[in-house]
Amino acid sequence: MTESLDELLAAQIERVDRRVTGGGDIYASERDEVRVAARAVHDLCERLDLGRFLGPVGYPKAKPQFLLLFERGVLKAYGRVRAGEARAQRLWHDHGVRVVRVLDAGDDPHSWLLMEHLDAAPVARGPVPALDSLTTELAGIMSGAHAAGDAGARKGLPRLGDALRTHLGGVLVAARRHGYPIRPDEDGLVDRLTTSDRPVILHGDLGGGNVVRERDGGLRILDACGYVGPAEFDAARWAARTGGAEGGERVLARWLDAEPGLDPAVARPLLGLELLMEAGVRELVKDERGEPAAFPDPATERLLAVADRLLGR
């Protein structure tokens, strides 16, 4: 155990504590989670014989988890059970999907993964043509992921609706507190839009940071949530996060062209739900950073307006 590793763990705990202080109840459990994860890192270093600590992976994030490079690979340690990630990535790898390879994993008492180290960098979305091309490439990869796994493989994985309902309700508190007229039916929307007669195993958190490009030029997918729900959700979340209020519909259309089995009538309201989420997150981040609400914020208003239109308000 090196001093630099201990310092890194302490710095991450401090970042999470600051986020909890600014974000309020939505992050309250993360104060304990990050400390549980830090203790798990010490235990796993010895139990897995990981070798020398080489440094953190990626840029620092105020999350109650750790992503650390050792001689044997990349260790990811959580302070809670997150069973879907390793299961989804192992299943997809076995089906030839371009995901990071899981070398070892466990969920007792808290989740951890040991993964191969990729010589890769998060994708740069760039202007419209580059984003369109990237979306087509990613949708082609995820079409294979969505086709993998039967009912047995999905059994026991977390449901998208449960996770989305909790997160959406939490972030919209900040938007309401800042004066925005948020519709009161988000729980019903989540239940209706995430119920599917064709459920698949989802990534569940697609954004620029979870899609990387290797030196050989190929994409790889990281950090799967392993939720179960409609495949259209992965397209909608990617479109909302990369296209926003101005370009989300165009990005979604590009994904639907590349994964033609998806239903636009399911995908478009899910994009609306995700833009509603983005509006809430935008306002919550202001609280985390101690910034003024600046009501009305034109960017938040644009997100809410497009969300309302797609949700049929």
* Interval 164-202: pLDDT, tens: 999 999 899 999 999 999 988 888 999 999 999 999 999
Least confident of 1-10, 116-125, 184-193, 297-306: 1-10
DSSP E strands, 117-221: 120-122, 200-201, 211-214, 219-221
* Interval 21-69: pLDDT, tens: 887 777 889 999 999 999 999 999 999 999 999 999 987 788 999 999 9
Question: Has residue 75 got a pLDDT over 60?
Answer: yes
Question: Has residue 125 got a pLDDT over 80?
Answer: no
Least confident of 128-132, 226-230, 274-278, 295-299: 128-132
Please state, in angstroms and as integers, the Cα–Cα distance from residue 229 to each residue in 157, 173, 195, 261, following that order.
10, 25, 7, 15
For 213, phi then psi, to 5°, come to -115, 125
pLDDT of residue 183: 84
Q: Which domains does the chain have, with CATH numbers?
A: 3-117 (3.30.200), 121-311 (3.90.1200.10)
DSSP annotation string for 204-237: ---SGGGEEEETTS-EEE------EE-THHHHHH
pTM above 0.75, yes or no: yes
Please state, in angstroms and as integers, the Cα–Cα distance from residue 166 to each residue in 27, 65, 161, following that order.
11, 19, 9
DSSP SS3 for 300? helix
DSSP SS3 for 285? helix
pLDDT of residue 122: 87
Question: Has residue 124 got a pLDDT over 80?
Answer: no
Question: Has residue 229 got a pLDDT over 90?
Answer: yes
Residue 313's pLDDT band (cuts 50, 70, 90):
low
> How confident is the model over 218-229, as a mean pLDDT?
95
Question: Has residue 74 got a pLDDT over 50?
Answer: yes
Q: What is the DSSP letter of 17?
A: H
pLDDT of residue 21: 87
How does strand 200-201 pair with strand 120-122? unpaired
